[in-house]
Structure 1
């Protein structure tokens, strides 16, 4: 059952995220909402994201030394790859490339993290 805990936690946090996001977006369509309350409602979907963070950290603390090393390299690959990609694209925006929404940074980083894990697993097979 321990092997199913992480995917279950991630699934629950994603479901909660989509529910909270949908409800907050629907609520924000109302007129005459106090600006401070708009900020609070807008940021509510971050709470389920915090559950994801806690789940990832809990998973990493349970890994053995080799798996932790693979995750460290994957995270370093994702961090530096995302930094390089967004920095580079920022320069391209100066010459007319479309604006890169900040919402896209996490999917880029998550994808590079997955690529980094795959490379690490392949490297240590």
Structure 2
């Protein structure tokens, strides 16, 4: 029962943070592009980072709430996905030197999230 309670709390915190992120993102896109270059434009365009910080805070809180086994498995999954992400992004850097198009840093998180999801699914299927 305790796991369900902390799981629901985590989802509320995380999806609340994601909601703040989306709201700030929409506002920054709507208002930030029209402003002249300067500190105000920079602050408005960077405002969604506050939502990201809230998501990090929710994740850190959840990692402190779960038991040691869940924490260990989660950290293993993160470490493996970080290694996959580093390998892919590093390798693509060489492809850019060979003339491939430059890729934004915005692709790093989706690569890590996708590899993390893949690892979780493989572990569930293989029960490891």
- Say how many residue pairs are matched: 124
- Please tell me the root mean square deviation across aligned C-alpha atoms, in Å: 1.8
Q: Are 1:53 and 2:56 counterparts?
A: yes
Please give the alpha-carbon distance, in whole angstroms, between the structure 2 residues aligned to 1:60 and 1:50: 15
Q: Are 1:103 and 2:123 counterparts?
A: no
Structure 2 length-normalised TM: 0.85
3-state SS, counterpart of residue 98 of structure 1: coil
Q: Decide which of 51, 72, 76 is 2:75's aligned counterpart.
A: 72
**82-91 vs 92-101, which deviates more?**
92-101
Q: Per-residue deviation at 1:116?
A: 2.8
Q: Decide which of 3, 8, 17 is 1:4's aligned counterpart.
A: 8
Deviations 1:28-86 (A, max 9, x none): 2324x351111111111000101100111111112222211111111111111111100
Gaps of 5+ in 1: none
Structure 1 length-normalised TM: 0.87
CA separation of 1:122 and 1:73: change in aligned 2, threshold 3 A: farther
Please give the alpha-carbon distance, in whole angstroms, between the structure 2 residues aligned to 1:117 and 1:65: 17
Please give the alpha-carbon distance, in whole angstroms, between the structure 1 residues aligned to 2:111 and 2:97: 21
Deviations 1:74-112 (A, max 9, x none): 111111111110000011111121221111111111122
